[in-house]
Amino acid sequence: MASGKSRRSAAKRAATPQSKASTATRPAPRPSPAQGQTSPASDAPSAAATATKAAPRPSSTGAAIRSAVLTGARRRSRMNRYAIQRRRRTRIVWGAIALLVVASLAYVFWPRGTTTKPVVCATNIHSGMTGTPTAAGGPPVVSGKLVTVGNTCLKYIDVKMGTGPAVKNGDTVTVNYTGWLANGTKFDSSVDTAFGHVAPFAVPVGQGQVIPGWDKGLIGMKAGGERRLIIPPDLGYGSNGAGTTIPPNAVLVFDVTVVKIG
């Protein structure tokens, strides 16, 4: 019996240091964190999970909103382009209309001096007016330069130059005159008693109060000047004539002396 107990005691003593050694080599238990604290090791997965949860995730509603915004922006951009194109087309159309209007007005009102045909006088009596009278009692012989008034058959000869200011449109000119037909027939005079009105004649120049040949032919004369006017039918009494004295389409010859101007 004693030997059996001794053997069990020896075995127990032999096992005790081994237990202590195994106890010493066993890893120490981790201290449990205090309440409200976490260990760094345990925090890492938790922080990653939190960051993953905090990251925003696109939702179908947000995508729809962004798509609508982009669609609206594209639509506005397209509408702006269309509006710019419409304005450009409108400006082009109005510009073309303005050019057509200007061209039409220029065609209507532009002077066509280069295309104006020279007037051909139907009756040539000018040589007879500066030489021998065509009939007894006709206009006396005069000398001087034969001048044509504009693009007409109106002619004149300045027999005597006057002095002072020249006659212009709007002036009232007092004159003496004698008139003949191309055949030498005298038909009127302010100095011949045979016609019953021996007195100077006041003429408002350029006012249409006398025949056009006088309105045009007196321009430029001066007080005391004498001028012979050779007036074609279109600037005289035309195709109607004047009573029984002046026949239709008559060429008229006047000797005019300016008494005063104004």
Catalytic, out of 158, 171, 188, 255: 188
Beta-carbon-side half-sphere exposure of residue 124 (alpha carbons within 13 Å) = 3
The residue annotated as part of the active site, out of 211, 230, 246, 261, is: 211
Say whether 195 is catalytic. no
To the query of whether residue 107 is one of the catalytic residues in this protein, the response is no
CB 185 within 8 A of CB 219: no
Task: Give the H/E segment covering residue 70.
Answer: helix 60-109
Structure tokens, 243: 């009573």
Annotation says 211 is catalytic: yes
Q: Measured between alpha carbons, how far is 84 from 33 in angstroms, rounded to an integer?
A: 73
- Catalytic-labelled residue, pool 156, 158, 254, 255: 254
Neighbouring residues of 99: CB distance < 8 A, sequence distance ≥ 6: none
Which residues make beta-bridge pairs with 226? 160, 257
Which of 187, 201, 219, 234 is labelled catalytic? 187
Amino acid letter, residue 102: V
Q: Catalytic: which of 177, 215, 231, 261?
A: 177
In this structure, the chain runs to a length of: 262
215 catalytic per annotation: no
The position carrying tokens 């001794």 is: 6
201 given a catalytic annotation: no
Catalytic site residues? 177, 187-188, 211, 237, 254
